[in-house]
Amino acid sequence: MTRQDTDAAPDTDCDVIVVGAGFAGMYMLHRLRGLGLRALAIEAGSGVGGTWYWNRYPGARCDGESMFYSYKFDDDLQQEWNWTERYARQPEILSYANHVADRFDLRRDIRFSTRVTAATWDDAAMRWSIETDAGDRLSAQHVVLAVGCLSSPIRPRIAGVDDFRGAVYHTGEWPHEGVDFTGLKVGVIGTGSSAIQAIPMIARQAESLTVFQRTPNYVVPAQNRPLDPAEVADMKARYGELRAMAHATRTGNPFDINPQSALAVSEEERNGEYEKRWQIGGLIFMTSFNDLHSNAEANETAAEFVRNKIRGIVDDPATAELLCPHDAFGCKRLCVDTGYYETYNRPNVRLVDVGSTPVERLTPDGLTVAGTEYAFDAIVFATGFDAMTGSILKIDIRGRDGLALRDAWEDGPRAYLGLGVAGFPNLFTITGPQSPSVLTNMIPTIEQHVEWIADCLGWLRDKGVATIEADPAAQESWVDHSNAVAETTLRLSCNSWYVGANVPGKPRVFMPYIAGMPAYRDKCDAVAAAGYEGFRLG
Ligand code: FAD
Ligand code: NAP
């Protein structure tokens, strides 16, 4: 008899089941233990770290400053950990995640290599019943989905994928043992952030590299460098102050934000500001002026600055023009590189436009575009993720009266504060849709959600409240507000993953909340202070 065939009694009763053990799930587990709750985390991977466990492609690193792309909830932790580069590489971030797991003894309550497949609300018992691909039947009063916004890799539905005889990789599911491209003919499909980090590294190894670009992206230099121990010591001495500065910004990054309009200054001054930020490097370029996301004319000045940089870096004028984006600047996620544009000056690298004529099919030897066959030993899909909802909807979630979340979100996700969903009691989402999530420095943003949820669960216990559920009217009003704010920006003007455009058939909804962390945090705090206003308590 297998475990599934035993009686219906659950294997384990928990107060809270946390799905996922990336930075969100790990910290959630830690906080739940602090409340004295019986918590279990379930993780599909064989280790902690989430994004940094799965995305092991060459060149993978964060593009937020390491000193700030890290937890701040424990001062001893942030004082003892030493980041070695301005933007840490994937192995270093994964070591950090493992260090956190060791330090807080998290692994004993994480069930690894196990995927949650279903979660069903039992209204009579007022509990969730959880099923996994290992045949577990678990029960919990509350479920926290810490499944990640960028954790459901997608491979485009290109004909003949199974025909190709060479190796096929996806950046988001990279082999743990690494890949040696030495002497190989390699094709990369995609030119988003992952591709932009991987392409320069693969080009150095491969005999030849062909990049298939559907839409060019805006890419600014990282200006990555080793961190000087004296500089780290100085920052650590001022960590509280620096974190507070980052905390006060819309994105949770320690950026110098220029409050001026790009159109309020002369062209010379404007380009001087862009050049200064280009030299500093990284996402700080986004805050060069205050209206780059809201005013098309202002936006175009940043766009043209970057296009001129591309024309200056890439030797072949035709390749340079092909690399020049024409969407609004920053409509898609800004990419941060080390030597991306320079890579196209290498003799072993070529760029193929698949914007006008898509990849037709994979063949036994490679792939075809517009009737031309390109032969490869290996093809890398750098084709991104079913973002924000992909990993949530892969789980068959059934709420009150058997309502399926897939049906409730048929026309796009609807959530109250990105934390709860009407019809799904005692279910929380960390960095869920309609919260700032992917528009911010995500570790501090995760901390804010974890702390809000932990405080809420402590409050419910103290008040003897068994269930909490988003009120439909409060949810509708929040979703309307979230959509209305998005409409004041240029972010809806392109086919980004923020609006689900990269997944065929996905409803076009701007999923994250764009008004910034301070306004969002104030709202969450006010809701809690008012006894969880907008939630129904039972
Ligand atoms: P994840 O790290 O995605 O973890 C979710 C975990 O849940 C995964 O381990 C997954 O296996 C597990 N899971 C999902 N579904 C199930 C299930 N049904 N059952 C069991 N387990 C499940 N953000 C930044 O702010 N700065 C950056 O520089 C940055 N760089 C990034 C680079 C890459 C390559 C990618 C893909 C994303 C990057 N991000 C960055 C976003 C990044 O995802 C977040 O910063 C953060 O790591 C998310 O943590 P998380 O725990 O919420 O989700
Ligand atoms: P992505 O930004 O969605 O990029 C996917 C790329 O694949 C796009 O260029 C897309 O083209 C292309 N593509 C998809 N299907 C295709 C098809 N059928 N034919 C040709 N091209 C196709 O995914 P990602 O690069 O993995 O990044 C996702 C997010 O993860 C980022 O935006 C960022 O938030 C995060 N990330 C961060 C870093 C970092 O620097 N720290 C690194 C990696 C990822 P279109 O643009 O035309 O759709």
| Structure confidence by residue, pLDDT tens digits, 353-383 | 999 999 999 999 999 999 999 999 999 999 9
* 251-281 pLDDT, tens digit each: 999 888 899 999 999 999 999 999 999 999 9
Nearest CA to ligand 1 atom 31: 62
pLDDT higher than 60, residue 7? no
pLDDT of residue 256: 81
Confidence label for 430 from pLDDT (cuts 50, 70 and 90): very high
User: Which ligand is nearest to the Cα of residue 194, counting in written order?
Assistant: 2
Question: Is it the case that residue 1 has pLDDT exceeding 60?
Answer: no
What is the distance in A from the centroid of ligand 1 to the CA of 386?
A: 12
Distance 320 CA to ligand 1 centre (A): 33
Reading across the β-sheet that carries 366-369, which strands appear in turn? 359-362, 366-369, 372-375
Helices (H), 281-427: 296-313, 317-323, 340-343, 390-393, 405-408
Question: What pTM did the predictor assign?
Answer: 0.97
Atom of ligand 2 lying closest to residue 156 CA? 18
Q: Kindly state if the Cβ of 19 falls inside 6 Å of ligand 1.
A: yes
Locate tokens 């809270």: which residue?
A: 16
Rounded CA-CA distance 94/106 in Å is: 15
Q: Is 100 in the pocket of ligand 1 (CB under 6 A)?
A: no
How far is residue 432's CA from residue 420's CA, in Å, rounded to a whole number?
A: 8
Helix runs in 431-537, H state only = 442-463, 472-487, 517-529
42: Cβ below 6 Å to ligand 1? yes
Q: What is the DSSP letter of 94?
A: H
CA 27 – CA 25 distance, rounded (Å): 6
- At 78, the pLDDT band (50, 70, 90 cuts) reads very high
Looking at all shown ligands, the one closest to residue 436's CA atom is 1
Crossing angle, helix 239-247 and helix 229-237, to 10 degrees? 70
The two structure tokens encoding residue 273: 């500001």
Nearest to 515 by CA among 475, 477, 473, 486: 486
Percent of the chain with pLDDT strictly greater than 90: 96
Summarize the confidence of residues 106-115 as an average pLDDT. 98
Residue range 341-348: mean pLDDT, rounded? 98
Write b or e for each residue in 286-295: b if 16 or more Cβ atoms lie within 10 A of its Cβ, otherwise e.
bbbbbbbbeb
Q: Residue 346 is encoded by which pair of tokens?
A: 């290498």
Cα gap 39→453, rounded to integer Å: 13
**What is the pLDDT at residue 255?**
81
Instruction: Identify any residues that bridge with 351 across adjacent strands, giving them in sequence order.
Output: 211
Closest residue CA from atom 45 of ligand 2: 215
Q: Is the distance from CB of 380 to CB of 169 less than 8 angstroms?
A: yes
CA-nearest residue for atom 52, ligand 1, is: 148
Evaluate: CB of 310 within 6 angstroms of ligand 1: no
pLDDT at 2 over 50: no
pLDDT above 60 (res 309) = yes
Which token pair is 525? 């705090």
Among the ranges given (12-26, 245-259, 428-442, 446-460), the one the predictor scored with the smallest mean pLDDT: 245-259
Q: Which atom of ligand 1 is nearest to the CA of 24?
A: 51
Helices 90-103 and 23-34 cross at an angle (nearest 10°) of: 10
The answer, yes or no, to whether any atom of ligand 1 lies below 6 A from the CB of 23, is: yes
Q: What is the mean pLDDT of residues 504-532?
A: 97
Q: Kindly report, residue by residue over 18-73, the tens digit of the pLDDT.
A: 999 999 999 999 999 999 999 999 999 999 999 999 999 999 999 999 999 999 99
Ligand 2 atom at minimal distance to the Cα of residue 64: 41
**C-alpha 150 – ligand 1 centre gap (Å):** 6
Q: Is the CB of 446 under 6 A from ligand 1?
A: yes
Confidence of residue 10 (pLDDT cuts 50, 70, 90): very low
What single DSSP character describes residue 159?
A: B
Q: Is the CB of 191 under 6 A from ligand 1?
A: no
pLDDT single digits (tens) 171-211: 999 999 999 999 999 999 999 999 999 999 999 999 999 99
Ligand 1 centroid to Cα of residue 52, in Å, is 7
233-245 pLDDT, tens digit per residue, is 999 999 999 999 9
Cα of 335 from ligand 2 centre, angstroms: 10
> CA-CA distance, 472 to 312, in Å (whole number)?
53
In short, whether 384's Cβ falls inside 6 Å of ligand 1 is no
Ligand 2 pocket residues where CB is under 6 Å? 62-63, 150, 156, 171, 189-195, 197, 212, 214-215, 333, 336, 354, 358-359, 382-385, 438, 497, 502
Mean pLDDT of the chain: 96
- Which residue from 136, 150, 389 has its CB within 8 A of the most atoms of ligand 1, so it is best to mutate? 150
Q: How far apart are CA 80 and CA 43, in angstroms?
A: 27
| Gap from CA of 50 to ligand 1 centroid (Å) | 5
CA distance 62 to 86: 9
Q: What are phi and psi of 46, to 5 degrees?
A: -90, 0
Kindly state the helix (H) or strand (E) to which residue 12 belongs, with its residue range.
Answer: strand 12-19
Specify whether the CB–CB gap between 16 and 38 falls below 8 A: yes
Average pLDDT over residues 74-89: 98
Ligand 1: does its nearest atom lie under 6 Å from the Cβ of 48?
no
